[in-house]
Structure 1
Amino acid sequence: MSEATNAAVGVRVDGHVLIVSIQRPQVRNAVNMAVAQGIAAAMEELDANPALHIGVLTGSGGTFCAGMDLKAFAYEGVEPAIEGRGFAGLCEAPPRKPLIAAVEGHAVAGGFEIVLACDMVVAARGASFGLPEAKRGIVASSGGLMRLPQRLSANLAMEMALLGDPISAEQAHAWGLVNRLVEPGQALAAALVLARAIDANAPLAVAASKQIVQGSRNWSDAEMFERQRPIARAVNGSADAREGAAAFAQKRVARWRGC
């Protein structure tokens, strides 16, 4: 296991899993430029390093993220966005590989938009999610208003966006926004269990499956199979595909090579 940090963001590798933690608990992990730079660098490493198959993003000190650091913005005048990646170095360009949010405490405003940029969510009981921007006279412009209707019904997404009130982790789980609901303090551990279970599958197939699930939202019925075909063909013709079939036939654990 290796570890690295830029003071605002901690990064460590556990097997094939990249664990990224926002390290500003004194301000409820609010995002400043250092956080955005740290997350952006971690996402670039996740996608570029073939030894990494999946990421987990969390916060420190019992909370996930309270959004943008408004004090830092007021004094420094710099919005914590990275060119090409957007707010928090993530919201406009999530990684190609799967990313799980492990949520304790608050995930509100930009913090909730970070969660929505992830592919799956593990949350502790007592955590809360929300887009309070309408209460402050602004718009949640880092993807929250566009991604929320992809996760919830249009009516529920509209209610959250217009009312601005937070919802509990229990409600988010009931609505299908949270994949797994766990006891307080267990979100990261449970997210790692989920990550390792996914990591047991073929990395090429996992990455391609994410690509198809996400991309197909914008594919018409007429074009969807044509759009899927080259992605699936590249994986189904791989050495890992042959290994998967052989391992099944021989009743053994597959040895994935990522090619």
Structure 2
Amino acid sequence: MGGTEHLTVERVGATLVLTLDRPEARNALSLPMLAGLHDAWLLADADDDVRSVVLTGAGGAFCSGMDLKALADRRNPDDPVRARFKADPDLHWKAMLRHHRPRKPVIAAVEGPCVAGGTELLQGTDIRIAGSGAVFGLFEVRRGLFPIGGSTVRLPRQIPHTHAMEMLLTGRPYTAAEAERIGLIGHVVPDGTALERALATAELVNANAPLAVEAVKACVHDAAALPEPDALALELERGRPVFDTADAKEGARAFAEKRPAVFRRA
């Protein structure tokens, strides 16, 4: 259903599938790819028929990080994509989910390298599935750089402190098995099947009431940085209105009638 150069966007049922499509560069992040990602997140948010998003990469790779050479190229200053980034200096951070949180659940399907900016982008997703040959890591310190895509903030909140610090400070690669063990990803599957598993997981999400799913996701994220009493108060604030929805009543009826529920986002 479209996309931009280096990003393919398609619908599979109620799931929007975003494919980083620059396999010759192991799907390194380019300006067209980032612009496409930004637009795709907004598309998913705006389309009520989209209930989940799957993010994956083409050619047996997820993402090898930022293409610094391409980003520094000034040979075509009138390029319309480059003009978008000049007009909105925050655009790349929104694309990488640093300054934007999609309303719908985002499931990562990782094959091959998912390193540097790839691992930073991964941290903006909700559910993570990887092929057994996938490789993860934040290599920035090895090159005198800083993982400025959110990793010094997000990683210690998503995995145990000691593992976050080791990943950040050593810059070493992590296998899929090790990434699963420390909690960076949730599932390891045979190579070549991560997308299939991600789509199956998306179907499980899509079968649920969308207002409930979105409220749960928003509450988990917004409560994460709050003290427990404030977080519990927020949970009641976000959760109580869900019980008053037509979908909640439909869920109860469907359970009593022993049939699948038909949720209408109402």
Instruction: Find the counterpart in structure 2 of residue 127 from structure 1.
Output: 134
What CA distance in whole angstroms lies between the structure 2 residues aligned with 1:76 and 1:196?
A: 43
Q: What SS does the corresponding residue of 1:142 show, helix, strand or coil?
A: coil
Q: CA deviation at 1:82?
A: 5.9
Counterpart of 1:235, as a letter, is V
What CA distance in whole angstroms lies between the structure 1 residues aligned with 2:29 and 2:248?
A: 41
**TM-score scaled to structure 2, two decimals?**
0.92
Q: Do structure 1's residue 104 and structure 2's residue 111 form an aligned pair?
A: yes
1:148-172 alpha-carbon deviations (Å, 9 max, x no partner) = 1122110010000000001000111
Match of 1:14 among 12, 15, 31: 12
What CA distance in whole angstroms lies between the structure 1 residues aligned with 2:170 and 2:264?
A: 49
Structure 2: gaps spanning 5 or more residues = 76-81
**TM-score scaled to structure 1, two decimals?**
0.94
What CA distance in whole angstroms lies between the structure 1 residues aligned with 2:90 and 2:262?
A: 38
What CA distance in whole angstroms lies between the structure 2 residues aligned with 1:238 and 1:87?
A: 31
Match of 1:175 among 176, 182, 190: 182
Q: CA deviation at 1:136?
A: 0.7
Equivalent residues in 2 for 1:1-259 (5 A)? 3-76=1-74, 83=90, 86=93, 88-259=95-266
What CA distance in whole angstroms lies between the structure 1 residues aligned with 2:231 and 2:96?
A: 30
Q: What SS does the corresponding residue of 1:76 show, helix, strand or coil?
A: coil
CA pair 167-233 structure 1, distance change in 2 beyond 3 A? same
1:87-130 alpha-carbon deviations (Å, 9 max, x no partner) = 64533212121001110000111111011111111100010110
1:131–1:164 CA contact under 8 A, matched in 2: yes
1:53-108 alpha-carbon deviations (Å, 9 max, x no partner) = 10000110100001111220232397898626616453321212100111000011
Percent identity, aligned pairs only, is 39
Counterpart of 1:33, as a letter, is L
CA pair 82-195 structure 1, distance change in 2 beyond 3 A? farther
Q: How many residue pairs get matched?
A: 257
What CA distance in whole angstroms lies between the structure 2 residues aligned with 1:87 and 1:212?
A: 20
Structure 1: gaps spanning 5 or more residues = none
2:41–2:95 CA contact under 8 A, matched in 1: no
Q: What SS does the corresponding residue of 1:94 show, helix, strand or coil?
A: coil
1:149–1:157 CA contact under 8 A, matched in 2: yes
Q: CA deviation at 1:4?
A: 1.2
What CA distance in whole angstroms lies between the structure 2 residues aligned with 1:209 and 1:115?
A: 20
Moved more, 46-55 or 71-80: 71-80
What CA distance in whole angstroms lies between the structure 1 residues aligned with 2:259 and 2:162?
A: 47
Name the Cα RMSD after superposition.
1.8
